[in-house]
Structure 1
Amino acid sequence: MEAVIDDHIDPEELQLHSRRYEEELSNGQVGYNTAFDYGWCLIRSRKQEDIMKGVELFKHLYKNGETKARRDCLFFTAVGYTKIREFELALECIDTLLRAEPQNTQAKDLKRVIEDRLKKSGLMGMGLIAFGGATVVAAIGLVALLTKKK
Structure 2
Amino acid sequence: MDIGAIVDENVEASDLEQAARVYQEQARRGSPSALAAFTYAHALIRSGKEDVKLGIVILEGLLKRGTEDIPKRDYVYYLAVAHTRQKEYDRALNYIDLLLNAESHNRQAIELKALIEKRMKRDGLLGLAVLGFGGGAALIAGGLALLLRRH
Q: What's the TM-score, normalizing by structure 2?
A: 0.78
Task: State the Cα distance separating 1:66 from its structure 2 match.
Answer: 2.3
Per the alignment, residue 96 of structure 2 pairs with 94
Is 2:64 the counterpart of 1:80? Answer: no
Shift of 1:23: 0.5
Off by >4 Å, runs of 4+ in structure 1: none
Preserved contact between residue 75 and residue 93 of structure 1 (Cα < 8 Å): yes
Q: How many residues align?
A: 122
Q: Deviations over 1:99-127 (max 9, x none)?
A: 1111111100000000000000018xxxx
Residue correspondence of structure 1 range 100-139 to structure 2 within 5 A: 100-122=102-124
- Structure 1 partner of 2:50: 49
1:5-20 equivalences under 5 Å are 5-20=7-22
The separation in 2 between residues aligned to 1:20 and 1:42, in whole angstroms, is 13
Contact 1:6 / 1:83 at 8 angstroms: preserved in 2?
yes
- Matching residue's letter, 2:57: E
Q: Provide structure 1 residue ranges, at least 5 long, that are not aligned to the other structure.
A: 124-150
C-alpha RMSD of the superposition: 1.3
Select the structure that is richer in helix: 1
| 1:4 aligned residue | 6
The CA distance in 2 between the partners of 1:8 and 1:73, in whole Å, is 19
Gap regions ≥5 residues in structure 2: 126-151
**Distance in 1 between residues matched to 2:46 and 2:38, nearest whole Å:** 13
Counterpart for residue 23 of structure 2: 21
Measure, in 2, the Cα distance between the counterparts of 1:63 and 1:110: 23
Q: Secondary structure at the match of 1:63?
A: helix
| Cα offset, 1:69, TM superposition | 1.2
TM-score under structure 1 normalisation?
0.78
Asked if 2 retains the 8 angstrom alpha-carbon contact of 1:21 and 1:34, the reply is yes
Conserved in 2, the CA contact under 8 Å of 1:62 and 1:69?
no
Identity of aligned residues (%): 37
Structure scoring higher RCO (CA < 8 A, sep ≥ 6) equals 2
